[in-house]
């Protein structure tokens, strides 16, 4: 049962009222709804339209109760308590019981008796209530209402109208929570039905929640419809692996196969919601998996036994000790990331490790070390609810951390929280969270943030200086020189809490676990002797055994690998002889091409992966590892909140990365420990956040503004929530709800570039070109926006990133 959000501040006794409910006297805060009081008392009042996270509507009339002094029964979901109120539920009131019985009969009147084939059967509030309090037989002799079925609300969401009880939970969710009122009640009276416009499907990023809150089986998903029975599913609480929002999920497994995912309650984080990626993008877990270790022989990968593969890998890595590098990617659990951090330092004698195979910079490394790694929890979701201002910089929550978006929308809707977004585009998300759009040319974020610090808007600055203010910095700032420095400076100068919101679920955990050159677990600076001492003690090694100098981050690793190509040719010693790469989607890195090219040229490559990839293709040894549902672990969300989970699918042969690394270490004769999640957690528990001095924040100056030529524009870009990401593979219904791939420009920019009349435009860089449909929109003048990695628009492949200057021409290339 979802509980309504509780105020964290204690309630003064003067704000309490006393009432009697079913002869029990209770004191509750003024303004509480009777139905919530009953819940707190453990008294269940049946309900269909009521939902604690939606505004009351009192439409279904199921929760009618008796209030002394009122002639008519009252809806418990809409009546607030008053002093001295005497309430009787169906347990103690004939009036309430009779009223509920009547409503139940009405609800079942036109409801089909198709429970045996209905997805909701077995977990259906209407079915439960009918079984508990309904009549055995119907007194309705007329013909039931029928509709053609099912109809698509979107490619993913299906509607069987005859099952609908018009509770309006789905439509209220769409309007109130998601801000996507594309799903509405249509028609009138007995013909009233949920529906969409003829030409606009319910393509909300949050559409799947409507299925979950539907109290009957009216809404179903293309993905799950007719796939399973609730009693055939084994459910496990899990944490979503798709982004850094940190949603609690429930993963339902049918005979070893992940069949469904639902949002699970976490009042502090996702409440009861999640996004459609988290709900529907799981087919990758079940499909195309690596099953055996592979070893390269005569240029080809062949299946190998575990002992053989471990032996080959261990020998290759041992030979390269001190000249090895590790790329972990941003998707690992914190425990697995920690295993890599430890393995790199004690088995490979290296500090060349990075979890970022995406745009990154030394400035970001320094920012993470100074302002994020090992910092305590916060700012939090709850802080957003009551912040005097939330400043978003280089961060589009709806696409990049959807639950932050939902929370900001609620903060705006319920509390009128002042939100400002520094962005090149006035996005739909900005409007849905009621934010002020602070126009910013892509790449100019540093200057804009500095201007805010200098008081460009006195209200915003005053609010930032008010305790509780929050600044949220997005991942793309790593590619904008000076931006993270400016953000850190703004936070320092105003006292605002600073949150860094990476896109991937494992990034914050990897950072805190020490999977970044120069940082040991808990945010400990590697170059601090006492930090090394603390870590060595936990790892059972001498501090002197640990690297002393910060190693290479991803950029330097790629540089070194490229240098190595030349050095190999001239017979010089390689800088990096071996690499360990975890399940990394290297295509996210703007230098992916260079990296893959360098991997072709020689380093001994060990890959731990769930699926085949560009990396496994080039590896000397490949270890298959467990996907997230096959292992226990935890993700640390953007707040710094650790969200542990256990394995949803048990009994598969796949081992988590930590176990594979432990076996490798064992073969390499390095005392590593068992590498299981419990051991890794126990060590992490000892490595509590660093309390010593953190390094200073970076102070990279914004480069001088670069003029954009008459045929060019500054590129604004980020990844849309639903795009060509690998974890979304295998779910066409979800993909069909993605936003259109299109380029956005202001009319002024389009006219200046001479493309105002063009249907399509071409964005080009020296490395290539992408042709896109053009739409005129609210975009800062001088900029063009396009999605990073959508169908038909892979900007990274042409070396274009947020802030880059790109050539724009009308028509196709």
Residues that bind another protein in the complex, under the rule CB under 8 A: 56-62, 64, 71-73, 78, 99, 102-103, 105-107, 109-110, 139-143, 145, 165-166, 180-192, 195-200, 202
In terms of CB distance, is 342 or 432 closer to another protein? 432
Cα distance between residue 105 and residue 97, in whole Å = 12
> Two tokens at 117?
């084939």
Per the CB < 8 A criterion, the answer to whether 627 and 233 are in contact is no
C-alpha distances out from residue 150 to 211, 213, 738, Å? 14, 18, 22
Residue in 583, 546, 529 with CA at minimum distance from that of residue 348: 546
DSSP character for 728?
Answer: G
Q: CA 805, 391, 177: angle at the middle one, nearest 5? A: 105
In terms of CB distance, is 41 or 109 closer to another protein? 109
For residue 136, the minimal CB distance to another protein (Å) is: 16
In terms of CB distance, is 435 or 647 closer to another protein? 435
In terms of CB distance, is 57 or 151 closer to another protein? 57
For residue 167, the minimal CB distance to another protein (Å) is: 9
For residue 206, the minimal CB distance to another protein (Å) is: 15
For residue 249, the minimal CB distance to another protein (Å) is: 28
Per the CB < 8 A criterion, the answer to whether 695 and 525 are in contact is yes
In terms of CB distance, is 110 or 711 closer to another protein? 110
Q: CA 785, 276, 247: angle at the middle one, nearest 5? A: 105
The maximal CA–CA distance of the chain, rounded, in angstroms, is 96
In terms of CB distance, is 29 or 593 closer to another protein? 29
In terms of CB distance, is 103 or 346 closer to another protein? 103
Cα distance between residue 679 and residue 681, in whole Å = 5
In terms of CB distance, is 134 or 230 closer to another protein? 134
In terms of CB distance, is 110 or 805 closer to another protein? 110
For residue 81, the minimal CB distance to another protein (Å) is: 14
Q: Is the peptide bond before 261 cis (omega within 30 degrees of 0)?
A: no
Question: What DSSP string describes 304-336?
Answer: --HHHHHHHHHHHHHHTTTSEEEE--S-S-HHH
For residue 737, the minimal CB distance to another protein (Å) is: 15
Cα distance between residue 475 and residue 627, in whole Å = 25
Residue in 550, 551, 557 with CA at minimum distance from that of residue 591: 557
> Two tokens at 78?
């809409």
For residue 401, the minimal CB distance to another protein (Å) is: 24
In terms of CB distance, is 14 or 200 closer to another protein? 200
Per the CB < 8 A criterion, the answer to whether 159 and 202 are in contact is no
For residue 171, the minimal CB distance to another protein (Å) is: 9
In terms of CB distance, is 565 or 777 closer to another protein? 777
> Two tokens at 382?
């709850």
102 CB-near residues (< 8 Å, 6+ apart): none
Instruction: Give Cα 130 to chain centroid, integer Å.
Output: 37
> Two tokens at 271?
């409440």
For residue 168, the minimal CB distance to another protein (Å) is: 8
Cα distance between residue 755 and residue 758, in whole Å = 5
For residue 713, the minimal CB distance to another protein (Å) is: 26
Q: Specify the length of the chain in residues.
A: 813
For residue 62, the minimal CB distance to another protein (Å) is: 7
Measured over the CA atoms of residue 141, residue 146, residue 150 and residue 154, the dihedral's sign is negative
Q: What are phi and psi of 603, to 5 degrees?
A: -65, 145
């Amino acid at each position: 049962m979802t509980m309504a959000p509780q105020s964290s501040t204690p309630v003064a006794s003067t704000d309490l009222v006393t009432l009697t409910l079913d002869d029990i006297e209770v004191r509750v805060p003024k303004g509480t709804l009777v139905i919530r009081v009953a819940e707190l008392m453990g008294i269940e009042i049946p309900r269909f339209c009521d939902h604690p996270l939606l505004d009351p509507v009192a439409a279904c009339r199921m929760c009618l109760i008796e209030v002394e002094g009122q002639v008519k029964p009252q809806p418990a979901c809409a009546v607030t308590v008053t002093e001295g109120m005497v309430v009787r539920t169906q347990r103690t009131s004939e009036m309430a019981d009779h009223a509920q019985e009547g409503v139940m009969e009405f609800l079942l009147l036109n409801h089909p008796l198709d429970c045996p084939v209905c997805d909701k059967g077995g977990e259906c509030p209407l079915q439960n209530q009918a079984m508990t309090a309904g009549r055995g037989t119907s007194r309705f002799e007329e013909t039931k209402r029928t509709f053609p079925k099912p109809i698509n609300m979107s490619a993913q969401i299906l509607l069987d109208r005859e099952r609908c009880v018009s509770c309006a939970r789905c439509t209220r969710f769409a309007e109130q929570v998601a801000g996507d009122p594309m799903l509405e009640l249509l028609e009138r009276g007995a013909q009233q039905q949920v529906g969409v416009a003829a030409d606009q499907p319910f393509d909300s990023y949050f559409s799947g929640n409507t299925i979950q809150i539907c109290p009957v089986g009216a809404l179903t998903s293309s993905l799950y419809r007719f796939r399973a029975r609730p009693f055939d599913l084994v459910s496990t609480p899990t944490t979503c692996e798709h982004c850094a929002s940190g949603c609690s999920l429930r993963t339902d497994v049918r005979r070893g196969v992940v069949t469904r995912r639902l949002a699970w309650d976490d009042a502090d984080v996702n409440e009861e919601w999640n996004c459609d990626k988290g709900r529907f993008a799981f087919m990758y877990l079940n499909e195309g998996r690596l099953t055996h270790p592979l070893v390269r022989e005569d240029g080809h990968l062949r299946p190998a036994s575990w002992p053989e593969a471990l032996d080959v890998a261990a020998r290759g890595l041992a030979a390269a000790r001190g000249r090895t590098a590790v790329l972990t990617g941003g998707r690992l659990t914190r425990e697995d990331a920690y295993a890599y951090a430890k393995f790199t330092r004690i088995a490979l004698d290296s500090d060349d490790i990075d979890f970022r195979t995406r745009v990154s910079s030394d400035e970001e490394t320094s920012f993470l070390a100074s302002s994020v790694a090992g910092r305590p929890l916060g700012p939090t979701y709850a802080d957003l609810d009551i912040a005097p201002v939330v400043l978003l910089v280089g961060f589009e929550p709806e696409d990049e951390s959807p639950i932050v978006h939902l929370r900001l929308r609620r903060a705006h809707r319920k509390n009128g929280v002042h939100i400002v977004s520094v962005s090149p585009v006035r996005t739909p998300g900005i409007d849905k969270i009621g934010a002020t759009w602070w126009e910013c040319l892509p790449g100019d974020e540093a200057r804009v943030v500095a201007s805010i610090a200098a008081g460009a808007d006195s209200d915003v600055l005053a609010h930032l200086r008010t305790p509780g203010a929050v600044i949220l910095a997005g991942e793309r700032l790593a590619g904008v020189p000076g931006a993270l420095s400016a953000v850190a400076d703004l936070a320092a100068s105003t006292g605002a809490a600073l949150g860094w919101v990476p896109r991937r679920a494992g990034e914050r955990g990897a950072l805190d676990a020490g999977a970044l050159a120069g940082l040991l677990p808990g945010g400990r600076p590697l170059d601090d002797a006492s930090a090394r001492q603390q870590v060595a003690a936990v790892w059972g090694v001498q501090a002197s055994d640990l690297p002393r100098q910060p190693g290479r981050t991803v950029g330097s690793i790629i540089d070194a690998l490229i240098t190595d190509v030349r050095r190999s040719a001239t017979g010089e010693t390689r800088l990096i002889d071996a690499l360990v790469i975890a399940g990394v989607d290297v295509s996210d890195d703007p230098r992916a091409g260079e990296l893959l090219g360098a991997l072709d040229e020689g380093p001994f490559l060990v890959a731990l992966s769930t699926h085949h990839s560009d990396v496994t293709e080039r590896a000397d040894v490949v270890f298959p590892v467990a996907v997230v549902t096959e292992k226990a672990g935890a993700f640390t969300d953007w707040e710094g909140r650790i969200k542990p989970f256990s394995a949803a699918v048990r009994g598969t042969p796949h081992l988590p990365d930590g176990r594979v690394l432990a076996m490798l270490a064992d073969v390499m004769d390095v005392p590593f420990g068992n590498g299981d999640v419990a051991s890794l957690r126990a060590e992490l528990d000892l490595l509590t956040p660093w309390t010593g001095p953190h390094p200073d924040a970076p102070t990279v100056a914004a480069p001088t503004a670069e003029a954009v030529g008459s045929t060019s524009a500054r590129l604004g870009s980020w990844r849309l929530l639903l795009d060509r990401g690998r974890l979304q593979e295998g779910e066409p219904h979800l993909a069909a709800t993605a936003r259109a791939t299109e380029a956005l420009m202001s009319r002024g920019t389009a006219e200046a570039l001479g493309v105002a009349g063009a249907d399509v435009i071409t964005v080009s860089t020296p490395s290539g070109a992408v042709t896109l449909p053009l739409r005129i929109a609210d975009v800062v003048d001088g900029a063009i926006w396009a999605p990073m990695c959508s169908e038909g628009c892979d900007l990274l492949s042409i070396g274009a990133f947020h802030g880059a200057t790109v050539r724009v021409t009308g028509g196709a290339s």
